[in-house]
Homo-oligomer: A and B are copies of this chain.
Amino acid sequence: MNEIKTTDAEIEIAGTGTLGKAMAVLEAVVTAGSPQRFTDIVQSIGQPRGTVHRLLSHLVEEGLLVQGRDLSYEPGLRLLKLAYRSWSGNRFRDIAEPHLLRLHELTGETVHLGVLRETEIIYVDKVESRQTVRMSSQIGKASPAYCTGIGKAALSSLPQPELERIAARMRFHPFTAHTHRSAAALLAEIDEIRREGHAFDREEHEAEICCVAAPIAIPEHDLVAGVSVTGPAYRVNMAQLAAWAEVVRGAAGKIEEEVRMRLGPGRNGR
């Protein structure tokens, strides 16, 4: 029992016992994006019905899921509450915020702060270009590292073996005509990014969206992140982005420095 299923559609279950299974169920429901019925969940998890049923009851009792009158399961509010408290108490985000605001004032475009987690970038803060498009945050959104400016910048600050280990786990989905299609192509660009100190996203993730990003690396806190300035291609051409590269690098450097100062050295002063 408890084998790791490797079928594509199924979610992997880690070696964290009961908690791992419960999280796999939670993830399955949350990822689906629409209310999931019992049978759907059983299928995506590949665990016996009795087990899945009990896990679901526990998740509902904990407020992590809610069950509607049609018996389908949806994410519960407790997740939002937990995330809010994590976010608002996050010292890295807190330290970076004024620098993001300054970067926004300088450029007038949207500024993002993202942290690398395995092969993904998770956005932890954002300053909107205007309130126009959509009102609210993409905070918590996860995007692949290989096709985003922050992602590539963050990757460029990793030691080569670590970078290669992570690159090997990526699945290169071709979002646009410009998306990297292989680890080799990505690694080649990373070399260049290391020399330049900044990365571009040339409509690699979304058509018509470009950005310039710089890495923030604080190895003594296991933190690999990045800042970026993003804009629509029609308004922000490559020359403009290149011109902003320096202030973006500057902001990244200042954030790095301030985090070092305020968070202190890690264990053993390493």
Interface residues of A (CB under 8 A from B): 14-20, 22-23, 26-27, 30-31, 33-34, 55, 58-59, 61-64, 66, 68-71, 75-90, 97, 101, 115, 117, 122, 124-128, 131, 135-142, 220-222, 266-268, 270
Identical copies in the complex: 2
Closest CB in chain B relative to A92 CB, distance in Å: 10
Bound complex: CA A86 to CA B71 (Å): 18
Name the one of B58, B221, B270 contacting A68, with C-beta atoms under 8 angstroms: B221
Contact between chains at A82 and B137 (CB < 8 Å) = no
Contact between chains at A79 and B69 (CB < 8 Å) = no
Closest CB in chain B relative to A114 CB, distance in Å: 10
Closest B residue, CB atoms, query A142: B81
Bound complex: CA A241 to CA B16 (Å): 52
Name the one of B19, B87, B131, B135 contacting A140, with C-beta atoms under 8 angstroms: B87
Closest B residue, CB atoms, query A75: B86
Contact A85-B75, Cβ < 8 Å, known A17-B58, A22-B19, A131-B128: yes
Contact between chains at B222 and A62 (CB < 8 Å) = no
24 A–B contacts, CB within 8 A, in A order: A14-B62, A16-B58, A19-B19, A19-B55, A20-B58, A20-B61, A22-B22, A23-B64, A26-B82, A27-B82, A30-B86, A34-B89, A68-B222, A69-B266, A77-B115, A79-B79, A80-B83, A80-B87, A80-B122, A81-B140, A125-B136, A126-B135, A126-B136, A137-B139
A267: which B residues are within 8 A, CB to CB? 68-71
Contact between chains at A62 and B20 (CB < 8 Å) = yes
Closest B residue, CB atoms, query A93: B136
Closest B residue, CB atoms, query A267: B69
Contact between chains at B58 and A19 (CB < 8 Å) = yes
